Amino acid sequence: MDRSKTGATATKTPALRVAVVGATGYTGGELLRLLVTHPRVTIAAVTSEQSAGKSLGEVFPSLARLVDQPLVAFDPEKIAARADLVFVALPSGSAMQAVASLVGLGRRVVDLSPDYRFVDPATYQRWYAVPHRYPTLLAKAVYGLPELHRRRIARARVVGNPGCYPTAALLALAPLVKKGLMRPGAAVIIDAKSGISGAGRGASLPYHFPEANEGLMAYKVGHHRHQPEISQELARLANVAPPVVFTPHLVPMTRGIFCTIYAETAAALTPERALAIYRGFYKDEPFVRVLEEGESPQTKAVWGSNYCDVGVAVDPEAKRVVLMSAIDNLVKGAAGQAIQNMNLMCGYPESLGLTAPPVFP
């Protein structure tokens, strides 16, 4: 795993002008919430097709008077003239063109859609039902999980920010998969639960509060679009990806993802050794906290933060492990990780602007 750090001369760098394209969704709002306190950033432009002409405070009262820029319609040439780096928070398909236009105008981009996450354009087409129109640019994009691809992210012009479920699942699985400790051919079972904000601000009826409150349901079983992301990155860690059984669930809370992952090891693994592996793997990572034996992550313990908490339980006789992880889906699962990637791309300290502790209760 690449652990090189950048950012030794960050204090000599002038303020970075950034734009947020698609600023009025939950992810766009979260980006702006974090960016307004970033010490090396100036927010140069915010876009929205439906809310162009409005102030940001009209759309997000929580951000009233914190961002002076009015919302404007997206024009790539105007955005490129005003910003050095652009966050694109548009739906899949729409982001593809926007990213290509901005890169063509010489701008660096962190894309929060799925459009630049995949190595193989055929995988994208299979899961998103449209061909990728920019396969050459896709081949140059870097999957933006810093804990696995830090050095490549630092050199990238385009970063495909990971999905929220893959972030939580991959950070839980990476140490064992990278060290080749999984039983060959055995399926990895990922039971994942997300808060309602993961469905976005324009969610369909089943994801509205009256429909989801006091309930629990699985959705998109066997065909959730985050599954190929997980498989892709596991294959890059181990050359041959273990089969993945991924089942997402909707729980009636606003924020958070909790993953419980069941996997088999090739040989018996003691709790002490498992924890030593995880602590060694993540010892230099600013945002991964490996919990003590017997402790379980909690979504409330990472709420509003860029942390991922990881817990490990081991059954040595059965050669089985239960891995657990918790993140805030809007922060480490989206906006916070995007800013972590921006920091790497710009030579800033990786944790700059992201050190606020979780909110509790």
Catalytic residues: 164
> Residue 146 and residue 111: Cα distance in Å, rounded?
14
Is the distance from CB of 324 to CB of 259 less than 8 angstroms? Answer: yes
Q: First CA to last CA across the chain, in angstroms?
A: 35
Amino acid present at 167: T
